[in-house]
Structure 1
């Protein structure tokens, strides 16, 4: 009987503690708002970063997209001779997952040789190009072709870098 009383007392105390007053409405509202904000943050988080390795643009790709000839710059990062980006005055192309992606030039961005630009946008990505040793003035850039060192940055819709590459850039006027 004594053992039963010892077990009953803690259970009775727990039962009485659970019968307390309802929480303060202001405290409950604050807790609900905090929980809602946590859920919102989780739902708004971007998906996992998926790095992209662009494919080399081949001659059939150039022909199919009317990229043969004309003023343009071809970016070949690393030691590869295969261009990963073809940039022109109004647009640029990059081959992603075996599909040619078209980017439109941002006319407010800085001009590079062959009247190309530093920024291009597509529906899914943003492309940034930079030449290390290009002429500074646009007038010189229009008239000058040549070979430069350059860098490519490809951004996803969440403005995260998904590809970067540095290498040779060949510009033709």
Structure 2
């Protein structure tokens, strides 16, 4: 059946007096297969991790939180032994890459789970004291899906403290 489906376009183009370059035809088929086998990333919209989420899921502890620009709402938490995102109303727990780059308060730059991973970055080495035990830096958050495709990216504030 597949042979017949490929033969029809070839017959139609040759019937019109047009000859197709076999190499170009193979490249076109490969491009279509690649698009089918490797679909585009589906963007996500991380939600605010509220104090009630922290209480309900026992997310207390020292670490770092990320809030996107023009917001005070934390959408990612990084702690020494776990990281958190809230997607679709659900708190996701991710594991740190303890062999990678570290952040203050024994937290890590990279965390991954079964469906998503995130990377927190300080975009400046100069931080500003923002509380008795907290420091803030300009930062960024990148969330990727299980294929490693970026599904969310934002600049904002990375705040670390106890």
The reply to whether TM is greater than 0.5 is: yes
Instruction: Find the counterpart in structure 1 of residue 158 from structure 2.
Output: 169
* Structure 2 gaps, min length 5: 1-21, 127-132
Instruction: Give 1:90 deviation, angstroms.
Output: 1.2
Q: RMSD of the TM alignment (CA)?
A: 2.4
Matched, 1:45 2:34: no
Structure 2 match to 1:17: none
Inter-CA distance 83–41: structure 2 relative to 1 (3 Å threshold):
same
C-alpha displacement of 1:42? 4.7
- Find the aligned partners of 2:73 and 2:59 in 1 and give their Cα distance: 15
Q: Which residue of 1 aligns with 2:135?
A: 146
Q: Report the CA distance shift for 1:38/1:90 in structure 2 as closer, same or farther (over 3 A).
A: same
* Residue equivalent to 1:25: none
Q: Specify the SS of the correspondent of 1:114.
A: coil
| Structure number with higher helix proportion | 1
Are the structure 2 counterparts of residues 145 and 51 from structure 1 closer, same or farther at C-alpha, using a change threshold of 3 Å? same
What does the per-residue CA deviation read over 1:43-93, in whole Å, with 9 as the maximum and x for residues that have no partner?
86223321111011111110112123x211110011111100011011110
Q: Which has the higher strand share?
A: 2
Structure 2 residue aligned with 1:90, among 81, 84, 88?
81
Q: Distance in 2 between matches of 1:125 and 1:52?
A: 10
- Seen in structure 2, the aligned counterparts of structure 1 residues 161 and 39 have a Cα distance that, compared at 3 Å, is closer
Contact 1:146–1:172, Cα closer than 8 Å, also in 2: yes
Q: What's the TM-score, normalizing by structure 2?
A: 0.72
Structure 1 length as normaliser, TM-score?
0.68
> Would the alpha carbon gap of residues 66 and 134 (structure 1) be closer, same or farther in structure 2, given more than 3 Å must change?
farther
